[in-house]
A and B are shown apart, each in its own frame.
Chain A
Amino acid sequence: MSPLALMSTQLVKLESPKGPALPFLVLFLVVVGGPMIIERFRIPGIIGLLVGGLLIGPHGLGVVGSGNTTVPDLGDIGLLYLMFVAGLELDLRLVHAHRKATAIYSALTFSLPMIAGTVAGLAIGFNASAAVLLGSLLASHTLVVYPMIREMGRGDDPAVATGVGATVVTDTLTLVVLAVVSGVTVGNSGGLEIASQVVIGLLAVGVGCFLVLPRIARVFLSRFGKARASRYVFALVTMLAAATLAELFGIEGIVGAFFAGLALNRLVPNEGDLMERIEFFGGAVFVPIFLVSVGLIIDPAVMADPETLRLAAIFIGACFGGKALAALLTRPLLGYRWPEVGVLFSLTIPQAAATLAATIVGYDIGLFATNVVNAVLVLIAVSLVLSAVITPIFTKRLPIPTEGAGRMGRRVLLAIDPHEPLRRGTAEVARRLAVSDDGIVIPVVVAADESLPSETTWPLTEAMLVLLGIDRHIEVFIDTSTGAGVRHAAHSFHCTSVVADDPAGVLHDQLEGTSVDQPILFVGALTAKQLNRAVVMGDGDDDEVLEDLARRLARTAVPVRDHEAFDLLLQPAGRAQESNGDGDVTCVRVLTGSGGSDDS
């Protein structure tokens, strides 16, 4: 061999990659490319991830072999994450507001598909455990189309709220059934003993998640959670801790993860920065990897098998039939009209998170073979496509919400004076208003263009806000005047209300009498006391808004005659600030947006 040839072979000596880089490279290429490609065909991106997993898995190109445990392990974490986010995202305020209808519909939409699925399972030859597990996973649903309904402005419709609320119940019951079936299947004890153990375990997980966890979270977020990264990691810790707690009692970790999400629901507003981070990492990494790992299981030979398709048809029939019957029964029982029935059906047929979770666990414990898993995957695909198609059809037939029925605390602008440090009490008022609607606070420094704001105090203000749970960067808005800046910033950030730190009443005087699109609260005098008792001194016109605010901001609203006992005073704009004599009261004047001239 010539020296040059020898050198060439020594320079270019390629070896087969042995480390984890290649499988992970392929995995993330699938995560990036799968949804992108499949969505071009107007198919939900989730299907792209499943198909991608199939392609790279042992039944496809074999890049991720059957012996690979890393991707499935990561997929397990992704499943926990999926259930955690499912609990976090639920709008519990809506659930509470429509609790009676929610209770009735929950019973229907769980029990009917559950019975149908169990009977179908027994009819086709499943044993009791497998049939019951099948019934429960058909009874669950995931709110895949809820964002679509919200974007169409019908998110607060009573029927939608009922469907959302039912998700908590159906998913929780599905996971409870899963815990019992799993315990009976893998445990060595009798059914009664297993059931007792599961009940005790669920109680322990419930106490841990709903009583202990929120307290720990509040302390951490208010005292130690200054850094945004640490807040995110803390959220991960709570998820994993709850999952571990569940597993200690022989319950599937996903139950713990779901409960942890529910428990932290009020502390993590859906539109806040922390939720955005949680959704970002979930959407970018954890959940897609879980879906790809599910795709690894798909065996096209089995999926195309007539027996699998027969199973899928039966599962679809039992699931959709049960959900349809539940939705139809809301007409005689709850008085819903056809569009609401249709929306309920479209909202509750998508099968994803809890269905996948229960199916994979059933597979892992040997209750389900590959053909059952593949049949469920067909069901998932059909349910996602169908719900995506029919949801807009029914949703646009729902009544359009009346003007002014919006949620004041959804997006609260906290207007900050660039020259004065923000008072903690004002930030607290904004926070309470946002919490009342599971909303967010958007802190904005509003300045007139002739006085540029100094940034030196902002880090301190941000730190103070973060410790209050207001997890957002401070924005800056410069306008011709502070008053115009507040109005325009509120419009620009799509705010539903404004809270302004206004000790001297300067901003109030600027805006008094002008036309505004949303209520503006001018916080004047501040007390260091907790806001427990509020009194409204209205003029009749805006009393309804003021009384609503009183209920949101304080624990109780007291009658005017009991004025010695209040610590929060709400008045219409234009009045001089009043007090209860000793001056130790928070005084808020409210401009509600009726009448006046526009000074734009």
Chain B
Amino acid sequence: MRRHRAVAAAALGLALVLGLGACGSKIDAGGDFSPHHAGTLTVATGEIPLVGLWNGTPAHPDGGFEYELARKLAYHFGLAHLEVVVIPFSRLVEGHLGGADLALSDMTATASREKVLDFSVPYLAATPAVLVRSGQDVADLKTARGLSWAVGRSTTLRDFLDTTIRPTGRTVLTSSESETSRAVAQHKVDAGLLDLPVASAIAQASNGELTVAGQFDENDDVSAALPQGSDNVPAVDSAIRSLTADGSIDDLAQRWLGLDLTGSSAQDVPVIRTEGQ
């Protein structure tokens, strides 16, 4: 009799626990996503069009790695609509997302940016890469130092150029990645410093005019930026991990950036070592 009472007590206790679990607010195991506008994922980005990342027009983006990633995120969160807003990159990194739920803008998390933004887990590895006109070779850091450069004004690549490459030639600061690539194409500078995925996409779209001469051995991962204190970070993290695990991000990178992400950064682009130099 005593043993049956004990079993019954244990079963009752278990039922009580399960009942308590059913009370209270529901939780999504992968995190809850609450958009600003019901049913719509609002994504901010710094520049449309940007080859490989955002194709089309600001009013009607229609392709690109980050655009397709945004669509997949919307689908993952069960949101029927996707709205894209263009906010200058310099404003984005200051924390002004223009009311968007998140920003996908080839952005790297830095200490200063983390003071005004929250960042997701990385969705793309982005090493600094050298975009040059075809036929130009940049074999090592010494050669790189002797070149003139174009680089984005508000980007982490500018810090990298100043502290690691330390060019002796002229440096042109640009306000967009397209402007950087144009500076190279129009012979205003010898080389442009861009994230590898962007440089690769631009080179692919240039009909052989431009090429990626090398990448530096420093990893700058790209993450989604969210308003500081956003409760959506866990959900975005889970979504990105899920899309990474099922190969979606690899597929997008292959299709829009011409990159094979299996392993680490693109294996075919030579690495320019910076250690000990």
Contact = CB atoms under 8 A, between A and B. Distances in A.
Interface stretch (A37-45, A99-107, A319-327, A587-595): A319-327
Interface in B1-44: 3-4, 6-7, 10-11, 13-14, 16-18, 20-22, 24-31
A127 B28 contact: yes
A321 B14 contact: yes
Contacts of A364: 241, 245
Contacts of B243: 366
A66 interface: yes
Contacts of B228: none
Contact of A332 (B3, B20, B122, B245): B3
A550 interface: no
Contact of B17 (A188, A317, A328, A370): A317
A366 B109 contact: no
B29 A365 contact: no
Nearest to A129: B29
Contact of B221 (A67, A318, A325, A369): A67
A7 interface: no
Interface string A305-348: 00100110110011001101100110110000000000000000
Given A67-B219, A314-B20, A187 B246 contact: yes
A25 interface: no
A124 interface: yes
Given A124-B22, A317-B14, A371 B31 contact: yes
Range class of the B interface residue count: 35 or more
Most A CB within 10 A of own CB, among B11, B24, B29, B30: B29
Nearest to A327: B10
B229 to A, nearest CB: 11
Residue in A125, A302, A332 whose Cβ sees the most chain B Cβ within 10 Å: A125
A105 to B, nearest CB: 15
Nearest to B15: A321
Nearest to A345: B10
A316 B245 CA distance: 29
A314 B20 CA distance: 8
Given A116-B17, A325-B10, A365-B242, 11 more contacts: A18-B275, A67-B109, A124-B21, A124-B26, A314-B21, A317-B14, A366-B239, A367-B29, A367-B238, A368-B29, A369-B234
Interface of A: 18-19, 66-67, 116, 119-121, 123-127, 130-131, 134, 185-188, 302, 307, 310-311, 313-314, 317-318, 321-322, 324-325, 328-329, 331-332, 362-372
Task: Name the 6 nearest CB pairs between A and B, nearest first.
Answer: A366-B242, A125-B26, A317-B17, A130-B29, A369-B31, A321-B14
Interface of B: 3-4, 6-7, 10-11, 13-14, 16-18, 20-22, 24-31, 109, 121-122, 219, 221, 234-235, 237-247, 275
